[in-house]
Structure formats: C-alpha cells, structure tokens
C-alpha cells in the first residue's frame, strides 16, 4: 500500500509544474529555443527529479523506487540533449549523495537506464514534429519496456537476479513509467493545443472584423476614387502643363492606384471562400510566378535559383496559389535592399507538398515572426500586412499550414505545407540550373511578389 502511495505522490510531483504552467503562464508561448524557457525547463525538471529521489521507497525486490526517469525523458524531449545531459548529471550526483553505493546493482541500473533514456529522449526530440500521436505513444511504450528488459538480460553479475524477480521488476517499471509519461505528455499537448486554438480564434475574430469593414466601405471608397483618377488622367493629357505639374499628377495617380490595391486586398478578405477546388500543377504556378516577377527582380538586382518538381500537384485554386506565391516572393525581393538570391523550391514529403520561398534579405526577429499573418503588421514603410494575411487565410482554407524560419542579417524562408493530390503522378525533379541559365552563363535575375 505504501508503494502505491509513493507512486501517486511521485505522479503528483511530476504533474504539478505542468498545472502551474497551465494556470499562470498559459498565455506565454513555449519556445524550445528561448534561453529563459530552457532555464525554466531545466530547473523544473531538476527540482522534480530531486523530489522524486528524496521520496523514493523500497519496491518488491528491496531497492529504491521512484519516477526520476520521467522528468529526464520529458526534459530531454522538450529541451534537447544539453538540458537532458544536465538533468541526468544532477540525478546521478544526487543519487550518490542520497543512497551512496549501498545498492550497487540499483546504481548501475539507474545509470545505464538514464543514459539509454537520455538517448531515447534525444531521438524523440529530433523526430517529434514528424511523428503522429500514435507513433509517439508507441515509441514511448517500446522504450520504457525494452530498456529494463535489455539491462536485465545483460551478462553482468551485479545485475543478475532470479528470473521471477527480474520479470516483476521489468513489469513494475513499465507499468509505472509508461502511464505517467503518456499522461504528462497528453496534458502538455492539450495545453499547447488550447493555446494554438486561442490564437487561431483571435486571428479569426480579427479577420472577421476586417472582412466586415471591407464589405461595408470598400465599394463606396473605390467609386469616387475611380472618378478622381479619370479626371486626373484627363488633366494630365493637356499639352500646356509644365514638367513639374505632370510629375505631380503622375504621383497622384500612383498613390490612387496604391489605395486601389489596398482596397482590393480588403475585398479579397470579404469574398466568400470558393469551395470548388481542382488539381493545380505546382510547377506551372511557380513557372508563371517566375515570369511575372522577372522584371521586378532584375530591377532590384535579385537572382533566382529554382528547383521545382514537374509533375507535382495539389488540390486547390490555381489563381489563389499564384497570388500567395506572388505575395511572399515580392516581400522577399523588397527585403533584399542590396540585392541577393531568391530560391524557389518544391518537394514531396510523405502526404504533403512543401513549397519553399527563401531570400537572403535582412531577416526578422522572433517578435516579428510571431506577428506574421496579423492584419496591419508589416516590416515595410508603406505596407499594410493584408497581403500576407490573405495568403495565410487561403492556405489555411485548403487545410495547409505555413512555417517561417528567419534570422537577422541572413534572410527568411517561408515553407508552405499543402496536402498532396493523391491522383498526382510520380514526380520528377527538373534540373534547376540548366533550365534557368542565360547565354552568359549567369542565373536569371528573378524576384518575388507581395
């Protein structure tokens, strides 16, 4: 009875930091690459490890029992190998201070198990985003059953014990660790999912407000602007105007056109989504974008390297996908004020297509990356942020996602993840350089649109 009480007490200690996080820091986005969050994670896992070791109790075979490997695995999974190694080091040191070498077999068991669980956590950390929930749970189950089994099968006299006791030890280890880790990870996943849903809800509300604004005023604003532009063009056609007067009139027309473009973005948000989708050739869209932005890129001294599969298709809308790619590519060109390289690629990954648009521009900070896709957020002097917001909305309506990687001074990469069209034929990558080399042997200078 005491053993089960200590097991539940260990579980409570492990889950407490998770509930504290959900209660007090639920609006704080966890970023595994943040130094502050890494330190917080390390301290939490170390404190939990120490408490579980202090509150250990003798198990069936007379050696101490605790759940120290749970915070070790979770800390490694969330923080990476450095944090995991630090947690394991603290556990080994505290184990020696607490139990000494009285249970040499248990000490070796803990050390070897800790190293194997650390390695397992590193693998889980690396492939976490690529695995489904089923694969993650299956991996944890196999790891925490195979590790004690492997140790007790090792030909080491110090770890040798009767077969019956060994079997019960393996069973008890797996039966206590596996449910605890699965419950903890499930709670963490729920917290992260709720935070994501909250953000999506906020963006959806923001989009609804912008759409209502667009529907109510866009047409009324556009009509008088069209009339004004027509009369300005009429005045500009007079022969008795000075060069300065004509320049001012052209500037006025240019600003009116920019205002018209902004209004068109508002109307794009207000239009209901067309649910009729058809197969879209990714190569055709990217090639069309290449021709569209060629002059703009040459003007900004931007070169383009492109590698796109020829027979790769998605289910969507060709016009909208072209608009999305143009929006992002133009942003990339404008981010490369002193020229640079724009790379357009597409590849097949499992059951989805990844379209990558990478520039070598000024890059963005982590705070700016968090704001991408929000209305009115822009890094440009005369931008509105609506182009990217519309692009995100289109991708999400197809069941896709957008991920962004950026570093100040090095550039930005937008990766659009879209579901693969199952009927698409087998893709073959076209050699990129041979198809986009001019007569002088230099890569074509191409850019990307907003």
Q: What's the start-to-end Cα distance of the chain, in Å? A: 66
Q: How confident is the model at residue 271 (pLDDT cuts 50, 70, 90)?
A: low
CB 379 within 8 A of CB 368: yes
What would the two tokens of residue 149 be?
């089994």
Rounded CA-CA distance 274/211 in Å is 16
Report CA-CA distances (Å) from 379 to 101, 287, 332, 342. Answer: 61, 27, 11, 18
User: Out of 27-31, 196-200, 331-335, which region has the weakest mean confidence (pLDDT)?
Assistant: 27-31
pLDDT reported for residue 344: 92
Q: What is the mean pLDDT of the chain?
A: 77
Give the residue-averaged pLDDT of 414-431: 61
CB 21 within 8 A of CB 75: no
For the beta sheet containing 340-349, the strands, ordered from the edge strand earlier in sequence to the opposite edge, are 302-307, 340-349, 352-358, 411-419, 401-407
* Ranges 12-16, 167-171, 202-206, most confident: 12-16
Give the residue-averaged pLDDT of 194-215: 72
Give percent of the chain with pLDDT exceeding 90: 10
- Characterise 80 by phi-psi region: left (phi > 0), alpha (psi -120 to 50), beta (else): left
Higher pLDDT, 283 or 152: 283
Whether 388 has a pLDDT exceeding 60, the answer reads yes
pLDDT reported for residue 73: 92
pLDDT reported for residue 8: 86
Rounded CA-CA distance 354/419 in Å is 9
pLDDT reported for residue 155: 56
Q: Kindly report the backbone phi and psi dihedral angles of residue 40, in degrees, each rounded to the nearest multiple of 5, phi listed first.
A: -60, -45
434-447 pLDDT, tens digit each: 333 333 333 333 33
Whether 229 has a pLDDT exceeding 80, the answer reads yes
Q: How confident is the model at residue 384 (pLDDT cuts 50, 70, 90)?
A: low
Whether 273 has a pLDDT exceeding 70, the answer reads no
Rounded CA-CA distance 310/307 in Å is 9
């Amino acid at each position: 009875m005491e053993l089960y009480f200590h097991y539940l007490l260990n579980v409570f200690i492990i889950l407490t930091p998770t509930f504290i996080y959900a209660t007090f820091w639920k609006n704080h986005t966890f970023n595994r690459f943040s130094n502050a969050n890494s330190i917080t994670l390390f301290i939490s896992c170390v404190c939990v490890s120490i408490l579980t070791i202090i509150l250990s109790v003798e198990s069936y075979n007379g050696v101490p029992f605790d759940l120290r490997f749970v915070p070790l695995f979770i800390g490694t999974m969330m923080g990476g190998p450095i944090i995991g190694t630090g947690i394991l080091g603290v556990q080994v040191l505290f184990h020696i201070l607490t139990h000494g070498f009285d249970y040499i077999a248990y000490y070796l068991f803990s050390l070897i198990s800790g190293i194997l669980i650390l390695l397992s956590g590193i693998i889980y950390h690396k492939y976490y985003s690529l695995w489904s929930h089923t694969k993650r749970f299956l991996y944890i189950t196999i790891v925490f059953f195979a590790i004690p089994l492997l140790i007790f099968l090792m030909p080491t006299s110090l770890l040798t014990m009767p077969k019956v006791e060994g079997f019960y030890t393996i069973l008890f280890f797996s039966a206590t660790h596996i449910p605890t880790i699965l419950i903890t990870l499930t709670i963490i996943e729920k917290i992260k999912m709720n935070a994501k849903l909250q953000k999506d809800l906020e963006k959806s509300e923001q989009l609804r407000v912008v759409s209502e604004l667009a529907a109510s005023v866009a047409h009324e604003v556009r009509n008088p602007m069209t009339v004004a532009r027509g009369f300005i063009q009429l005045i500009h056609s007079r022969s008795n105007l000075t060069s300065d007067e004509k320049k001012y009139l052209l500037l006025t027309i240019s600003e009116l056109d920019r205002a018209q473009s902004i209004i068109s973005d508002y109307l794009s948000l207000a239009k209901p989504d067309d649910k009729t989708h058809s197969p879209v050739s990714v190569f055709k869209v990217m090639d069309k974008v290449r021709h569209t932005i060629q002059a703009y890129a040459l003007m900004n001294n931007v070169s383009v390297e492109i590698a796109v599969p020829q027979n790769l298709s998605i289910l969507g809308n060709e016009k909208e996908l072209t608009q999305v790619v143009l929006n992002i590519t133009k942003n990339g060109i404008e981010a490369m004020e002193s020229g640079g390289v724009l790379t357009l690629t597409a590849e097949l990954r499992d059951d989805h297509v990844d379209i990558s648009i990478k520039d070598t521009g000024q890059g963005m900070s982590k705070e700016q990356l968090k704001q991408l896709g929000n209305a009115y957020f822009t890094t440009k002097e005369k931008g509105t942020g609506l182009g990217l917001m519309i692009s995100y909305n289109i991708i999400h309506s197809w069941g896709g996602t957008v991920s962004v990687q950026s570093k100040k001074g090095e550039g930005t990469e937008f990766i659009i993840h879209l579901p693969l069209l199952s009927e698409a034929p087998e893709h073959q990558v076209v050699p990129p350089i041979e198809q986009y080399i001019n007569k002088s042997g230099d890569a074509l200078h191409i850019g990307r649109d907003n």
